């Protein structure tokens, strides 16, 4: 076997409470980075178009839902399959105080990019130490 940097992980179905919305849901793979003034999140949701992604922040719970349209598959007969096609769903409880008015989200090539700016209160600040 030759060396290969990327391998494919099997998609994990969403466990837990049942959704009212029908269809299979999988967990998108995410990266979350912490910056001094914000959090950055990327989620891989191949097959999800910009119009089919929904991001909500409610009571400190960040919810990401991506819907995949399966219409294009209707006329196709599968010969060989390695991955499942389904919607994406993931929730995070945010510990940080996020300024929900300034959240930015963009979708490109099946990757959701979220910028979650910390609210003024949550930002680290330097406290001047004065001489007495």
Partner 1 sequence: MALLRYSPDSDPVTNLLTLQSDLERFLRNPAYQLGVSGFGGFPPVNIFDTGDGVAVIAEIPGIEPKSISVSGQGHTLTIKGERRRETSTEASGYHRRERSFGEFSRSLQLPEQLDLDKAAATYDAGMLTVKVPKAEAAKPRQIAVQPA
Interaction site with partner 1 (CB under 8 A): 1-2, 4-9, 29-36, 39-40, 42, 44-49, 73, 75-83, 85, 108-111, 113
Give whichever of 73 and 122 is closer to partner 1, judged by the CB atom. 73
CB atoms within 10 A of CB 113: 14
Q: Cβ distance 86 to 68 under 8 Å? A: yes
Residues 35-68: b if buried by 16+ CB within 10 A, e if exposed = eeebbebebebebbeeebbebeeeeeebebbbbb
CB of 89 to partner 1, least distance (A): 15
CB of 98 to partner 1, least distance (A): 13
Give whichever of 81 and 130 is closer to partner 1, judged by the CB atom. 81
Give whichever of 99 and 115 is closer to partner 1, judged by the CB atom. 115
């Amino acid at each position: 076997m030759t060396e290969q940097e990327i391998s494919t992980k099997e998609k994990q179905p969403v466990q837990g409470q049942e959704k009212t919305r029908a269809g299979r849901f999988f967990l998108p793979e995410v990266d979350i980075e912490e910056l001094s003034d914000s959090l950055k999140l990327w989620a891989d949701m191949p097959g999800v178009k910009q119009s089919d992604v929904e991001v909500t922040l409610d009571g400190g719970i960040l919810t990401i839902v991506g819907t995949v349209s399966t219409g294009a598959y209707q006329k196709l007969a599968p010969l060989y399959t390695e991955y499942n096609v389904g919607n994406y769903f993931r929730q995070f409880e945010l510990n940080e105080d996020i300024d929900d008015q300034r959240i930015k989200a963009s979708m490109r090539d099946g990757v959701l990019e979220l910028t979650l700016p910390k609210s003024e209160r949550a930002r680290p600040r330097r406290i001047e130490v004065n001489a007495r």
